[in-house]
């Protein structure tokens, strides 16, 4: 049984598109929010599987709910319960098609049937991390575990090592003065610049600013940010162009260690992604 959130209002734990896969024995993977809602969905899914039935259900969360009064967060959630055993071959083909789209970095469309309709599954955005040092080493695993595809680029062979970044989709050893220009960067990509020096940071920023992207951030102090801004303006970029660079990078949480800095950067990227998905109605 595939359980998918079709819509949510108020303080529901998860939004449209969240999914979980389960069988009569319980949860296999994914989540629609945990807690009492998910437990109840697992119970209902097991019953539906016994009958081979698919349906759509709406839950009211909180004191107004006769079924889930213990969920004090409030809000309403509408979920599709899709029985994949109704037509295994058809569902295998549909899911394979969706997976291919996602692997290609494209949004996937999944037809859940007449009652539930078409559900868009957003593609995992790619983060291109320029620099494979201590902060990148801490950042890449967090990004991979929070729904980002990651590419790491460094000009040093010891740092551009796939064994160093097992969670990365791609690890490239390239010269910084040409790497970003050659890399296919598009409007959905997130760029994090944390190279081994200011010169290389500038080289990467200069190349990326000539492309479309979803986010561009550079690690460094406020003094470094001002120096980079001055240098980019001198290179012919406008104030509007340079304003597209987020620096210092990451949320202001008083981070100091590479691990803390990684948390602050990942949190900022998650916030940017959430805002973009909301704007797109996903």
What is the pLDDT tens value at each position of the chain, 282 positions in all? 999 999 888 777 788 888 999 998 999 999 998 888 899 899 999 999 998 889 999 988 765 554 554 555 667 889 999 999 878 898 899 889 998 988 888 888 888 888 888 888 888 899 999 999 999 999 999 999 999 999 999 999 999 999 999 999 999 999 999 999 999 999 999 999 999 999 999 999 999 999 999 999 999 888 988 999 999 999 999 999 999 999 999 999 999 999 999 999 999 999 999 898 888 766
How far does the chain reach from its first CA to its final CA, in angstroms? Answer: 22
pLDDT, residue 210, reads 94
126-279: CATH architecture: 3-Layer(aba) Sandwich (3.40)
pLDDT, residue 268, reads 97
Strand partners, 120: 109
The Cα 85–Cα 93 span in angstroms is 13
pTM for this predicted structure: 0.82
pLDDT, residue 9, reads 80
Which residues of the chain does CATH 3.40.50.720 include?
126-279
Q: Are 228 and 205 in contact (CB under 8 A)?
A: yes
Report which of 75, 61, 63 is spatially closest to residue 8, judged by C-alpha positions. Answer: 75
pLDDT, residue 105, reads 81
């Amino acid at each position: 049984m595939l359980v998918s959130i079709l819509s949510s209002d108020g303080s529901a734990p998860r939004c449209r598109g969240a999914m979980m896969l389960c069988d009569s024995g319980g949860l296999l993977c994914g989540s629609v929010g945990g807690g009492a809602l998910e437990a109840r969905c697992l119970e209902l899914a097991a019953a539906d599987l016994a009958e081979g039935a698919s349906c759509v259900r709406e839950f009211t969360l909180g004191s107004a709910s006769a079924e889930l009064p213990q969920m004090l967060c409030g809000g309403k959630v509408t979920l599709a319960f899709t029985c994949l055993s109704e037509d295994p071959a058809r569902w295998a083909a549909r899911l394979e098609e969706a997976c291919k789209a996602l692997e290609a970095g494209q949004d996937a469309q999944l037809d859940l049937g007449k009652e539930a309709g078409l559900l868009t599954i957003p593609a995992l955005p790619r983060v291109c991390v320029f620099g494979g040092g201590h902060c990148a080493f801490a950042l890449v695993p967090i990004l991979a575990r929070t729904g980002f595809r990651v590419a790491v680029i460094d000009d040093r062979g010891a740092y551009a090592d796939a064994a160093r970044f097992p969670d990365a989709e791609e690890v490239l050893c390239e010269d910084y003065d040409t790497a970003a220009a050659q890399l296919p960067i598009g409007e959905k990509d997130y760029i994090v610049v944390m190279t081994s020096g200011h010169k290389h940071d500038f080289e990467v920023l200069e190349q990326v600013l000539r492309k479309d992207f979803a986010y561009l951030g550079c690690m460094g102090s406020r003094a470094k940010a001002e120096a980079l801004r001055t240098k980019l303006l001198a290179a012919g970029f406008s104030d509007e162009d340079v304003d597209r660079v987020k620096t210092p990078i990451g949320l202001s949480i008083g981070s100091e260690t590479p691990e803390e800095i990684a948390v602050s950067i990942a949190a900022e990227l998650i916030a940017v992604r959430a805002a973009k998905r909301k704007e797109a109605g996903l």
